[in-house]
Structure 1
Amino acid sequence: MDDAERLTRLEERYAHLQRHQAEQDKVMLELTEEVARLRAELGVLRARDSSGGTAPEPTDERPPHY
């Protein structure tokens, strides 16, 4: 393998790694945004739970002894 072939292979591998890194960065950004959204939603649910809000009882549900 001469130097030109070796250099071409290295450039191809480097380009592949650059593309892979860009894809990973995109996925990490999406995951970060999703985690932030879920944390906000969890905060709302925890606040609702700690404020004493209870879910209304379903009227057509049978008691456990039936």
Structure 2
Amino acid sequence: MEVAVKVEVDLEKCVGAGQCVLAADDVFDQRDSDGLVDLLDASPPEARADDVRHAAAVCPASAILVKD
């Protein structure tokens, strides 16, 4: 059984750059109303962990936290 990573986003920090969506569009989206991050999957499978970690790393506002 795959162990999923846990993802949290801080909407107070998010600036709507969309880098997370480019890195993992099945985990992150942007809200139509204001462009801020919309977390689609707070527990993505381990197979997506590298992309989710990349999304967190490229977030200019450090609004994404990934827990193993």
Class of the TM-score when normalised by the shorter of the 2 chains: under 0.3
Q: How high is the TM-score relative to the length of structure 2?
A: 0.24
Q: How high is the TM-score relative to the length of structure 1?
A: 0.24
The structure with the greater share of residues assigned to helix is 1
Structure with higher RCO (Cα < 8 A, 6+ apart): 2
Structure with higher Rg: it is 1
